[in-house]
Structure 1
Amino acid sequence: MGALTVAGADMNAPARCLLPLADPVVLAVADGLGGHAAGEIASEHAVHRMAESGPQLNGPDAVDLLLKHIDEEIKEHAGQHAEFSGMGTTVAGMLLMAEGNYWFNVGDSRTYRLQDTRLVQLSEDDSPALPPSEDGKPVTTNFITQSLGGSGSTAMVPHVGQDPEPGPGAWLMCSDGLSDLVAVEDMERIIAEADSDETAVHNLWQAAMDGSGRDNISILLVRRG
């Protein structure tokens, strides 16, 4: 199966894709940094590289190595083009294999496991600790401690782990354009009340737009049967 990527999706009509699991399948969202043009190039490069490499990924160590290669490639491109200095992207996703499911992320894009009606965050935010909210709304920051590419001087260390639930399951991947603006409890309610996954994705996007929609909103709802 060839690589499949979606850019500039219309959230009024979310795309539905069915993928066979004959080979490992990698699914991810990316959120570009460093200005619109530079961020778009970085995020598109990251998802294309992951999509084309998916069938060859044989476990968490391979994911870790691929993310480090992508980091180097983005930094190399930025070094060759002054206008793209500091370009980078966050990423969050899942690697689905016959023997297990693995999550990964860099930055503040997130992966949640949908457990019954609850969303359990698997990914680890690369952002500073923030004080608890006093009004119940999500506490957010625009600062992240690492990304793929970017201007950081320290080595990028991906977060990669195994989902404790093997086999069938469901996961939500999103950029901070959703998680910064919509509380987890509201995301859980929206998914539970939706009559289809397409409706759930649209309603999650609408909730973020109603919350100001001030950032890129990327959403991927995945089910493994």
Structure 2
Amino acid sequence: MGVDSGTVTVTALTHRGAVRQVNEDALVMGALTVAGGSMNAPARCLLPVQEPLVLAVADGLGGHAAGEIASEHAVHRMAESGPQLIGPDAMTTLLTHIDDEIREHSVQNEEFSGMGTTVAGLLLTEEGIYWFNVGDSRTYRIRDLRLEQLSEDDSPPTVPGEDGRPTSTNFITQSLGGSSSTPMQPHVGQDREATAEGWLMCSDGLSDLVSNEEMEQILAAAVSDEAAVRELWQAAMKVSGRDNISILLARPY
């Protein structure tokens, strides 16, 4: 089952956070991309799903050379290829090509050795809704005001800290590009839930700092999607904002 309405609203924000000097995150919303800067406020757009549409966040690998170049390349490739992606196999093929391209670029340019990016998002079509990810950025389904994680974390499991907040690790087991010699295997699946109220995609600058329960409370209390995205960002900033923060909130229109 695809997007019955044929249209989605997307509310987006990407920000460098409170500590990092550079924003290595990037966003793609259909033909639109945002990379290489910070947004002062959430932006909202209405997108038709008359042809396949990709929504995703990409998180350049922090501490690696040119992570912002890797994430920007990933979102640009998804934007230009989106209309031709007819299903999950095509999405898998595209992610594999992006992985090869980033690796080839780092081989040809020594200063970019090891650069890579995570990615998490949705492929929306009239026939089906497909989620995908590589790394630890996340995609959630929103149903009954609860968050249900669709993406599969490519990172070791963690337990909450003494204060109940999420704990994080800087280690991920795979990415697009990066230094690992193990072949990349993207996670791709179909969201068959007909009662989804929307989807939330984010980099770990949000999910490592704000618990699912707190995110659910923010989504439930917010008076608008713009307010929800702003308050999610503020929640991460209040508990250090130590990483880049990117958020996409999408809903059937």
TM over 0.5: yes
Residue identity opposite 2:52 in structure 1:
P
Q: Deviations over 1:10-38 (max 9, x none)?
A: 1x411111111110111000000154760
Q: Higher relative contact order by CA 8 Å / sep ≥ 6: 1 or 2?
A: 2
TM-score scaled to structure 2, two decimals?
0.84
Q: 2:77–2:98: 8 Å Cα contact kept in structure 1?
A: yes
Correspondence for 2:245? 217
Identify which range, 126-135 or 35-44, moves more after superposition: 126-135
Does the C-alpha gap of structure 1 residues 168 and 141 become closer, same or farther in structure 2, counting only changes over 3 Å?
Answer: closer
Any residues of structure 2 matched to 1:18-37 within 5 Å, and which? 18-33=46-61, 35=63
Residue 209 of structure 2 is aligned to residue 208 of structure 1: no
Structure 1: state its 5+ residue gaps.
none
Quote how far apart the aligned CAs of 1:133 are.
4.5
Residue identity opposite 2:115 in structure 1:
M
Identify which range, 135-144 or 151-160, moves more after superposition: 135-144
Distance in 2 between residues matched to 1:129 and 1:215, nearest whole Å: 19
Distance in 1 between residues matched to 2:44 and 2:34, nearest whole Å: 11
Quote how far apart the aligned CAs of 1:110 are.
0.1
Residue identity opposite 2:156 in structure 1:
P
Distance in 2 between residues matched to 1:169 and 1:26, nearest whole Å: 18
Q: 1:89–1:149: 8 Å Cα contact kept in structure 2?
A: yes
Quote how far apart the aligned CAs of 1:9 are.
3.9
Residue identity opposite 2:97 in structure 1:
H
1:44 aligns to what SS in structure 2? helix
Q: Deviations over 1:107-136 (max 9, x none)?
A: 000000011210000000000133455542
Decide which structure has greater strand share. Answer: 2
Alignment partner for residue 225 of structure 2, among 197, 201, 208?
Answer: 197
RMSD of aligned alpha carbons: 1.8
TM-score scaled to structure 1, two decimals?
0.94
Decide which structure has greater helix share. Answer: 1
Q: Deviations over 1:62-97 (max 9, x none)?
A: 000000000000000001111110000000000111
Structure 2: state its 5+ residue gaps.
1-29
